[in-house]
Amino acid sequence: MEIKKSLLKEKNGEKHKLLQDSEISLILDTYEDIFSDFDPRPFIHRSLSMDFLEEAKRATRDLPDGRIQLKFLIPYSLRNIPTEMMIRKRLKEHFAKHFLEYKREMKIIKIKGGLMTFAGILMIFFAASLSSISPQAFAIRFLQTLLEPAGWFTAWVGLENAFESLAEESKTKKFYERMSLADVSFIGY
């Protein structure tokens, strides 16, 4: 019994050292922990687990910029090199795909925000120019009253989309970019 306790302490100490040495270390019971329980496909095509993605995001949040080392700690008895190569490939593909999607999405947000801001400014300009036509005509006053707040609203929403949405999307894009370049390794414990 004493020998088992000593081996267990040694094993736990080794695991603790491995956790301290790497930037992101995640302990796996099996390779399945990385993937969705609801996706029966092989690892090469399988969806990643939301738990894994959330844990990876949380772990990368406080890391300094630079290349990430993602280390999976898995029991020696379960290690399988071909499976690990397949999982590495799947992780790289997933993160690279999502990085490109977020990059495209950010471009679309910028364009939409810019167009809305421009449309709002045009409405404000048109409303201001209406007053020089015939300030007493009811139709002109009505149009001016309608266009001024619509212009301001459209311009502000465009700016909000361009800046606020981009800030949030930028964090997600950065996560996927860093993870797509991460050094992924499996370590037995």
pTM: 0.70
User: pLDDT grade, residue 11 (50/70/90)?
Assistant: low
The confidence score (pLDDT) of residue 105 equals 87
Q: Which of 15-19, 165-169, 181-185 has the highest mean pLDDT?
A: 181-185
Once rounded to an integer, what is the mean pLDDT over residues 80-90?
A: 94
The stretch 33-60 carries a mean pLDDT of 90
Q: Is the pLDDT of residue 143 over 60?
A: yes
Q: For residues 51 and 98, is the Cβ–Cβ distance under 8 A? A: no
- List beta partners, residue 27: 73
| Residue 68: how many other CB atoms lie within 10 Å | 21
Query: At residue 8, does pLDDT exceed 80?
Result: no
117 Cβ contact list (under 8 Å, min separation 6): 154, 155, 158, 159, 162
Question: Residue 2's pLDDT is what?
Answer: 47
Q: Supply angle C-alpha 70, 72, 76, rounded to 5.
A: 150
69-74/24-27 β-pairing:
parallel
